[in-house]
Amino acid sequence: MKIQETIPTTKVERAAHFVGTGVKIGGNYIKHYTQKLVNKDVSKDELHKDNAEDIYGTLSKLKGSALKVAQMLSMDRGLLPKEYQDKFQLSQYSAPPLSGPLVTQTFVKSFGKMPSQLFDKFENQATAAASIGQVHTAVKNGKKLAVKIQYPGVANSISSDLRLVKPFALRLVGMSSIDADKYFDEVESKLLEETDYELELKRSVELSNECKHIKNLHFPVYYPELSSKKIITMDWLEGLHLKEFLATNPSQEVRNKAGQALWDFYDHQVHKLNKVHADPHPGNFLFLPDGTVNIFDFGCVKEIPLDFYKAYFSLIDRTIYNDKNSIYRIYNELEMIHPTDTQKEIDFFFPLFKKMIDMLTQPFTQSIFDFSDERYFGGIYEYVDYLSNLDEVKNSPKARGSRHSLYINRTYYGLYHILYDLKAMINTGYRQQ
């Protein structure tokens, strides 16, 4: 079977899928506005649902970076209509898997051997399939293993895919006029790293070792001799994904235990290592009944430049707002305010940023934080929705925020969402000065 028959790999083939999707979306809009002529009360819910299905259908066929963008967007619940969130969240757990012949072909190219020659037992049916690769179970020397196999053509299509998906992504978040090149450059660099399984293997071993002292976390053992540029082999980890875990109705003690492990995991990476597992969607964690969390995917790691780290986390200190010169300097360093901004622009964006920062940094200013607080999270979602509907924000041609903030913000949004779903009470480590 030819690779192209399963996953479109050429630029022309992949572009054709996007064009076809654009036509479908155009048809959805025509249908919506035709119905609105007859009934002015027709809502956009059905339009969003149709568009979400068409976009996700295309991205799931293309896989790779195109599907990864959907996964990233699904993590920020404040930006997308619910219909898109529900559909795009599928990319966190599952996507249509590769066929058996393509899996075998990847092994033969990597090792010159078929899976049956490398393992005592190998399951041809994937147990999980997501954006960059899929996972199979195997057995060797009595040990159950997880074998992650990268989809063909993923690395070669990243640049062209991002150019194609960019208009969709910006339109979905209501910022189609913004100059977002620096953010897409950052996404491209991270996606290229995610397709480098040799780099992922190295980082997986390093970060697992550097975080193994953290209570209630568990990491797999990795097997370099059974890994390659397109394959990573590690111990199979048991556990439930977050939704399944919560369905077992774990006690508050167990929820707190799991949440604390995740908080400590990220706190140690960010503040001690200055590099962080920057893909905290629920599909990358498995939860055990006693509150232990298994972590197994280090494909996306963000190394945090020291100057950015100092400026970004200085905003936790509320007293800094007493010094206007300092705060303007920090806002400039973080590219939230630009030297070319008019006074009118500064006066508009300054209070918006201050309020958002005050909200997002609240957990860092309290020794114990209750992530089940509906008012806190409801306030964040309402404010993000308010911001996304401001004409000055939607129509601003300037991207506001450093490229480094993209994955750091994503990391904390993802972590907060998981802790909120866990309804966890967390000891943040904050000490009153």
- 66-122 pLDDT per residue, tens: 566 555 554 454 445 555 455 455 544 455 566 678 889 999 999 999 999 999 999
Structural domain includes residue 107: no
Instruction: Choose the final residue of a domain: 174, 200, 219.
Output: 174
Q: Of 167-176, 242-251, 330-339, which gets the smallest average pLDDT?
A: 167-176
Residues 6 or more apart in contact with residue 382 via CB below 8 angstroms: none
Using DSSP's 3-state secondary structure scheme, residue 122 falls into strand
The per-residue pLDDT for 5 is 37
Domain shared by 253 and 168, yes or no:
no
Instruction: Choose the final residue of a domain: 142, 174, 206.
Output: 174
The per-residue pLDDT for 33 is 41
Structural domain includes residue 131: no
Structural domain includes residue 338: yes
Domain shared by 249 and 385, yes or no:
yes
Query: For residues 26 and 326, what is the distance between their CA atoms, to the nearest angstrom?
Result: 48
The mean pLDDT value for 57-68 works out to 57
Whole-Å CA distances, 113 to 2, 138, 359: 19, 15, 54
pLDDT above 90: percentage of residues in the chain: 45
The per-residue pLDDT for 46 is 60
Within a 13 Å sphere around the CA of 421, how many CA atoms are in the beta-carbon half? 19
Whether 129 has a pLDDT exceeding 90, the answer reads: no
The mean pLDDT value for 331-357 works out to 91
Query: For residues 186 and 404, what is the distance between their CA atoms, to the nearest angstrom?
Result: 8
- Position with higher pLDDT, 355 vs 256: 256
Structural domain includes residue 216: no
Average confidence score pLDDT of the chain: 80
Query: For residues 137 and 21, what is the distance between their CA atoms, to the nearest angstrom?
Result: 34
Name, of 82-96, 249-263, 318-332, 347-361, the range with top average pLDDT.
Answer: 249-263
The per-residue pLDDT for 7 is 57
- Tell me which residue range forms the domain holding 168: 3-93+156-174
Domain shared by 163 and 284, yes or no:
no
Tokens of residue 417, six digits: 């969402």
Q: Which of 347, 365, 357 is nearest to 401 (CA)?
A: 357
Whether 133 has a pLDDT exceeding 90, the answer reads: no
The helix-helix angle for 197-211 and 252-268 (nearest 10°) equals 110
Domain shared by 367 and 259, yes or no:
yes
Predicted confidence band at 280 (pLDDT cuts at 50, 70, 90)?
confident
Domain shared by 280 and 163, yes or no:
no
Whether 143 has a pLDDT exceeding 50, the answer reads: yes
The per-residue pLDDT for 79 is 45
Domain shared by 169 and 275, yes or no:
no
The per-residue pLDDT for 210 is 96
Other Cβ atoms within 10 Å of 328 Cβ, number: 14
Structural domain includes residue 229: no
Domain shared by 428 and 350, yes or no:
yes
Structural domain includes residue 167: yes
The per-residue pLDDT for 22 is 47
Domain shared by 282 and 164, yes or no:
no
Structural domain includes residue 29: yes
Predicted confidence band at 4 (pLDDT cuts at 50, 70, 90)?
very low
Within a 13 Å sphere around the CA of 13, how many CA atoms are in the beta-carbon half? 12
The per-residue pLDDT for 24 is 47
Domain shared by 314 and 418, yes or no:
yes
| Contacts of the segment 409-414: beta carbons below 8 A, 24+ positions apart | 410/72, 410/75, 410/76, 410/278, 410/280, 411/266, 411/270, 411/276, 411/277, 411/278, 411/280, 411/302, 412/266, 412/360, 413/75, 413/76, 414/75, 414/279, 414/280, 414/281
Predicted confidence band at 241 (pLDDT cuts at 50, 70, 90)?
very high
Within a 13 Å sphere around the CA of 127, how many CA atoms are in the beta-carbon half? 14
Structural domain includes residue 148: no
Whether 223 has a pLDDT exceeding 90, the answer reads: yes
pLDDT above 70: percentage of residues in the chain: 72
Predicted confidence band at 16 (pLDDT cuts at 50, 70, 90)?
low
Domain shared by 169 and 252, yes or no:
no
Domain shared by 169 and 245, yes or no:
no
Domain shared by 165 and 261, yes or no:
no
Instruction: Choose the final residue of a domain: 122, 141, 174.
Output: 174
Residue whose token pair is 């969390």: 293
Q: Of 12-16, 100-104, 360-364, which gets the smallest average pLDDT?
A: 12-16
The mean pLDDT value for 395-415 works out to 88
Other Cβ atoms within 10 Å of 115 Cβ, number: 22
Report the domain count for the chain.
2
Q: Which of 68, 294, 43 is nearest to 184 (CA)?
A: 68
The per-residue pLDDT for 281 is 81
pTM, to two decimals: 0.79
Predicted confidence band at 38 (pLDDT cuts at 50, 70, 90)?
very low
